[in-house]
A and B are shown apart, each in its own frame.
Chain A
Amino acid sequence: MIDPKRVLRALAEHWTLLEPLCERFDAGTLSLVELRNQLAAQLPEGTPTDVTALLDQWIRLDILVPVAKSPNRFELNAQIHDFLAYLRREHRLGLCLEIEAYLRHLERLAGYIKDAFEVRDAADLARQLRLLDMRVRDVLKKLANDEQALVAVAERAKTSDRQIPLRQRYAEVLATWDEYVEPMIQLVAADGAFEQGVYRVEHVLLRLLGEQQRLGQLVDDDLLLRTHARILEMQTTAQLTLRRARELLLPLREEARRHNAVTRGAALALAAIRKKGLDAVPQASMPLFSRPQSTFLGTASQVEAYVYALARFEPKPAQFPKAHSSRKGDAPRAPRTAREMIERCEQALPLPDLMVWLLEQEPEGATDELLYWFSRLSRDGRFQRERLERRDYLTREHQVSLSSFALIKPAGTTV
């Protein structure tokens, strides 16, 4: 039997050495050489003999225990490890199955309590009630520990390197969800083992209270009421822990799942495109974009001509002028640019009738071209316009009926 005081004193004295070792032991066992190196690094002034003495002491106090079948490897005694983890607020997530096993045990204890009451064995009844109470405390402790462990899982996932793929980063989250949260959801569900177990135990305790009033007291009512209150606390804590677990892990899990879905979706789409071409991308979700709608005026004949040209298109070799040959006849007139026309129009302001001015400027101009300039100039922001009465205008080929504009300089501008 090891004196607890000596263990506690050793832990307190060597805390600075033990704490960093805990982290190493969290990850696995350590060989004697690794242990010695670690301690030597922390005790720069210590001789190898000091290190040996220290290790001997820990082994004697059962703080360090050899790993089964590997005498040269050591680990922290599981009880000490748990205690240190508790002190360091390091929580390892337990199993949902553990809670379920506790629940089954609670139900069994309720059965014993019922039996003890029926045979009017006051001592056994009190003992079983105390056991029940302690077991409920175990569950509460476990739930509190699990909640802290879940917080740590979420924090590790959120703070780990953003460069590593999400799937790896959230592997622990996904595993925790599948192994702990999902079974917990089922356990704590209205028809799950937890609720049913709690209900059965509660039922026994309440019945006991009623019977005691009828048949006379075997145990103090307060003991029954305290145990009952603790069971209700356990039920609430389980629900809160589960809710917290969902709040913590669900968004991360969704993110990981979404990530998987996006990657899978992209791969699926590429496979479809490889096989069926670009049109294989499903239509429903494809983003639609609007774009600037051009507001140019085109006559029906322009469109007709365009389509006709498209349909009858034949490539022609381009004729470039030769450098040595001189040009015969007049140079072909370059098409008028919008800037050129606007400048001319500006200089001619005020214009009593834009269409008349255009016909004067371009007597040989095609009707659609004239109409284009009419539309372009009349809507230009540099001019202020006033609508005129509808009348007919004669172009080279057509008679056009339209309401022309008088153009003037906008008020407040100077030349």
Chain B
Amino acid sequence: MNIDLKELTQLAPIFRELFKGYHISRSNPELYAQLASQQDQYRSLFKALGYELTCDSRGFYYFVPEQMGAQVNKTAQRLALFTFILVEHLADQGRDPLAVLDGGSLGRDELPALLEKYKDLFLQAEVTTQDELEEKVMRRLTQLGFASEDNGIYRFLAPMHRFLDVCLSVQQDRDLAATLHSSLPLPTPVLLDDETEDEIISIAEEPTEESEEDALARAMAEERDAQEMDA
């Protein structure tokens, strides 16, 4: 494929934004229009440079980072948690969560009630005050192109579909529903660590020695399997 750099008039700003992890959607009309009209050229160029440009048909573009290690991405977790909470909160209020998260808006004045109602859950994401909620969640949402903020009103943009997709996949995840009712540990998310505040060094836990109970349980399971195979 021949790439004509003269046609890629917005190459520098587009690359700068995507490289920062920003999602380009219609809220950036200039960059979006350029990407939409020269999609294949941009994709090929970025691919040659080692970046995978994802073009989501719902109207947004972003770079898929390489999976560099099995580390937890705090930001992704935090933003996903916020989405789950918001969906439940809106549904509880009889409002339409999709209408809000897909192009709708949320007032900053609604945040304190949200924080109060889901204090225990936000605590898990190290968000305890309104400032932290704005700094660690709302600001990140706007920095990454998931939302825009104007005069105390947050408007959710098309890339929010990435989080709505998480809701859908959770719903389809029968394993998750099953593990909810068991005491087995859930699998740890394997995500790219991209947060400066996250741990720089991942200290892998030493595999703990099998306890007597676990050993017994394992032996029983093996025995049962063997019996089933015999049968």
A interface residues (Cβ-Cβ under 8 A, vs B): 162-166, 169, 255, 258-259, 261-293, 306-307, 310
Q: Across the interface, do A273 and B124 meet the contact criterion of CB distance under 8 Å? A: yes
Q: Give bound CA distance, A262 to B168, whole Å.
A: 5
* Interface flag for B125 (CB, 8 Å): yes
Q: In residues 179-217 of chain B, which contact A (Cβ within 8 Å)?
A: 179-180, 185-192, 194-196, 200-201
Residues from chain A with a CB closer than 8 A to the CB of B85 are: 266, 270
Q: Across the interface, do B170 and A282 meet the contact criterion of CB distance under 8 Å? A: yes
**Which 4 pairs between the two chains have the least Cβ-Cβ distance?**
A265-B171, A265-B167, A283-B189, A266-B87
Q: Across the interface, do B186 and A276 meet the contact criterion of CB distance under 8 Å? A: yes
How far, in Å, is A212 (CB) from chain B's closest CB?
59
Q: Across the interface, do A165 and B96 meet the contact criterion of CB distance under 8 Å? A: yes
Residue of A nearest to B190 (CB): A283
* Interface flag for B144 (CB, 8 Å): yes
Q: Across the interface, do A287 and B162 meet the contact criterion of CB distance under 8 Å? A: yes
Q: Across the interface, do A279 and B98 meet the contact criterion of CB distance under 8 Å? A: no
Binary per-residue interface labels of chain B (98-138) against chain A in the complex, 1 for a CB within 8 Å, 0 otherwise: 11000000000000000000001100110000000000000
* Interface flag for B36 (CB, 8 Å): no
Residues from chain A with a CB closer than 8 A to the CB of B195 are: 291
Q: Across the interface, do B194 and A290 meet the contact criterion of CB distance under 8 Å? A: yes
Residues from chain B with a CB closer than 8 A to the CB of A268 are: 170-171, 173, 176-177, 180
Q: Across the interface, do A285 and B165 meet the contact criterion of CB distance under 8 Å? A: yes
Residues from chain A with a CB closer than 8 A to the CB of B76 are: 286-289
Residues from chain B with a CB closer than 8 A to the CB of A263 are: 87-88, 91, 97, 167
Could you say which of B6-14, B25-33, B37-45, B62-70 contacts chain A?
B62-70
Q: Give bound CA distance, A5 to B166, whole Å.
A: 66
Residues from chain A with a CB closer than 8 A to the CB of B75 are: 289
Q: Across the interface, do B95 and A163 meet the contact criterion of CB distance under 8 Å? A: yes
Residues from chain B with a CB closer than 8 A to the CB of A165 are: 91, 94-96
Q: Across the interface, do B186 and A272 meet the contact criterion of CB distance under 8 Å? A: yes
Q: Across the interface, do A282 and B189 meet the contact criterion of CB distance under 8 Å? A: yes
Known: A282-B187, A289-B21, A291-B21. A162 touches B96 (CB 8 A): yes
Q: Across the interface, do B73 and A258 meet the contact criterion of CB distance under 8 Å? A: no
Q: Across the interface, do B98 and A262 meet the contact criterion of CB distance under 8 Å? A: yes
Residues from chain B with a CB closer than 8 A to the CB of A280 are: 176, 179, 186
Q: Give bound CA distance, A353 to B171, whole Å.
A: 63
How far, in Å, is B74 (CB) from chain A's closest CB?
9
* Interface flag for B142 (CB, 8 Å): no
Residues from chain B with a CB closer than 8 A to the CB of A306 are: 200
Known: A262-B98, A281-B80. A287 touches B21 (CB 8 A): no
Q: Across the interface, do A265 and B73 meet the contact criterion of CB distance under 8 Å? A: no
Q: Across the interface, do B167 and A286 meet the contact criterion of CB distance under 8 Å? A: no
Q: Give bound CA distance, A249 to B213, whole Å.
A: 55
Residue of A nearest to B80 (CB): A281
* Interface flag for B164 (CB, 8 Å): yes
Q: Across the interface, do B96 and A291 meet the contact criterion of CB distance under 8 Å? A: no
Residues from chain A with a CB closer than 8 A to the CB of B175 are: 282
How far, in Å, is B58 (CB) from chain A's closest CB?
12
17 intermolecular pairs with C-beta atoms under 8 Å apart: A163-B99, A165-B96, A262-B164, A262-B171, A265-B172, A269-B167, A270-B85, A272-B180, A273-B84, A279-B72, A279-B189, A282-B169, A283-B188, A288-B67, A288-B191, A290-B21, A290-B64
Q: Give bound CA distance, A214 to B143, whole Å.
A: 84
Q: Give bound CA distance, A164 to B91, whole Å.
A: 10
Residues from chain B with a CB closer than 8 A to the CB of A285 are: 165-166, 169-170
Q: Across the interface, do B162 and A164 meet the contact criterion of CB distance under 8 Å? A: no
Q: Across the interface, do B180 and A288 meet the contact criterion of CB distance under 8 Å? A: no
